Amino acid sequence: MYQRHFGLEHLPFSLTPDTQFFFPSPAHQEALNVLLFALEEEQGFVKVTGEVGLGKTMLCRLLLNRLKSPWVTAYLPNPDLRPASMYRQLATELSIPNQRKLATDVLMDTIRHRLLELSGSGRRLVVLFDEAQALPTATLESIRLLSNLETEKRKLVQIVLFGQPELDRRLAQENLRQLAQRITFDYCLQALDRRASEAYLRHRLEVAGRHGRPPFSRAALRLLFRASHGVPRLINILAHKSMLAAYGEGRDEVIRKHVSSAVNDTAQVRRQRHFLSRLHYGAFLLLLVLPSIMTLVAR
């Protein structure tokens, strides 16, 4: 690959959510602060939403790394969970033996006793659900019921939901209003602005072992930001392909044409650009015909 060519020890733009590469942009740092504060205050439900590729899973993994004793964590990344499967996965995370042999109601009671044991020893359970927008409605309702477990003084379970904006639309439905009302803290992740995008790219290169300025020309950086719209996952994809293109030519600098090649090779970005060009064309036509429409309305 191009690691040695660009003076790198690791690939800088892997799509794996490696917390070593976490970039504390203002938005991501604020989201992490909200999560840690809400959990410290023992709030029952917390929610983080954001579009695809903004770093929700990375944030989830980072939170798992930060939550040491007295927290006990359970990470459930698979959204294709029916209520019974969800309880069994939770029992596995809690090291409950022979849980597959237990009926669901017995399993729930066993989980409750385990949580009381944890609480009695001053420990707290935090359950993190990734891709929560895809959880079945019955499972979301079971999560709400799970949050009912409490003593007279404290909640036995704290729950964090990570999901795409569709999660907000689902929670706005009448049949999930009770769950929506229990969410006391929420945060919506936003894309990086141009300055943060360049800092993100530079940060990942430095973590990967690059010393000195990033091997991207100013024109390349401008196109990279415009094409990615500040979405970290797209920055990773385009930067990786651009560096491959430069390496293939034996060049030490990534220039605009390399980023352009990467854009043309990335279907998601091509579709996005096509949609935006059609949107701009539609707005242009509207501006052309709007005076005529206004004249007809005035008559």
Domain end (from 171, 188, 205): 188
For residue 203, what are the domain limits? Answer: 195-282
Say whether both 172 and 75 belong to one domain.
yes
DSSP classification of residue 119: H
Determine which helix (DSSP H) or strand (DSSP E) holds 72, and give its type and residue range: strand 71-76
Say whether both 73 and 92 belong to one domain.
yes
Measured CA to CA, the distance from residue 46 to residue 184 in angstroms comes to 6
What residues contact 182, with CB distance under 8 A and at least 6 apart? 44, 45, 144, 147
Find tokens 């590729």 and name the residue.
Answer: 53
Label residue 295 by pLDDT band (50, 70, 90).
Answer: low
CATH number where 243 lies: 1.10.8
Stretch 210-219: mean pLDDT: 93
For residue 260, what are the β-bridge partners? none
Instruction: Name the most confidently modeled range: 107-121, 147-161, 262-276, 281-295.
Output: 107-121
The answer to the question of residue 9 being in a domain is: no
Say whether both 85 and 183 belong to one domain.
yes
Say whether both 42 and 141 belong to one domain.
yes
The answer to the question of residue 172 being in a domain is: yes
The answer to the question of residue 294 being in a domain is: no
Helix, strand, coil percentages in the chain from 3-state DSSP, rounded to 5: 55, 10, 30
The answer to the question of residue 19 being in a domain is: no
The answer to the question of residue 17 being in a domain is: no
The answer to the question of residue 210 being in a domain is: yes
User: 53-67, 98-112, 246-260, 272-286: which has the minimum mean pLDDT?
Assistant: 272-286
Say whether both 206 and 231 belong to one domain.
yes
Measured torsion, CA atoms of residues 10, 15, 21, 27, in degrees rounded to the nearest 10 = 160
Say whether both 65 and 112 belong to one domain.
yes
Asked if pLDDT for residue 244 goes beyond 80, the answer is yes
Domain end (from 188, 219, 240): 188
Question: According to the model, what pLDDT value does residue 292 have?
Answer: 53
CB-CB contact of 118 with 72 (8 Å): yes
CATH number where 88 lies: 3.40.50.300
Say whether both 201 and 183 belong to one domain.
no
Domain end (from 169, 188, 207): 188
The answer to the question of residue 95 being in a domain is: yes
The answer to the question of residue 16 being in a domain is: no
Measured CA to CA, the distance from residue 188 to residue 48 in angstroms comes to 6
Q: What is the pLDDT of residues 58-107, one digit of tens each?
A: 999 999 999 988 899 999 998 888 999 999 999 988 988 887 778 888 88
Say whether both 256 and 183 belong to one domain.
no
Asked if pLDDT for residue 293 goes beyond 70, the answer is no
Stretch 153-160: mean pLDDT: 88
Measured CA to CA, the distance from residue 89 to residue 74 in angstroms comes to 9
Say whether both 182 and 211 belong to one domain.
no
For residue 162, what are the β-bridge partners? 48
Question: According to the model, what pLDDT value does residue 282 have?
Answer: 46
Question: According to the model, what pLDDT value does residue 19 have?
Answer: 94
CB-CB contact of 165 with 52 (8 Å): no
Q: How far is CA 181 from CA 10, 31, 43, 142, 227, in A?
A: 45, 20, 12, 15, 38
Label residue 285 by pLDDT band (50, 70, 90).
Answer: very low
Asked if pLDDT for residue 130 goes beyond 50, the answer is yes
Question: According to the model, what pLDDT value does residue 126 have?
Answer: 94
Say whether both 49 and 169 belong to one domain.
yes
Stretch 173-196: mean pLDDT: 94
CB-CB contact of 186 with 47 (8 Å): yes
Domains: count for the chain:
2
Say whether both 88 and 179 belong to one domain.
yes
Please tell me the pTM assigned to this model: 0.85
Triad 253, 203, 248: Cα angle to 5°? 25
Asked if pLDDT for residue 239 goes beyond 90, the answer is yes
Question: According to the model, what pLDDT value does residue 291 have?
Answer: 55
Say whether both 168 and 40 belong to one domain.
yes
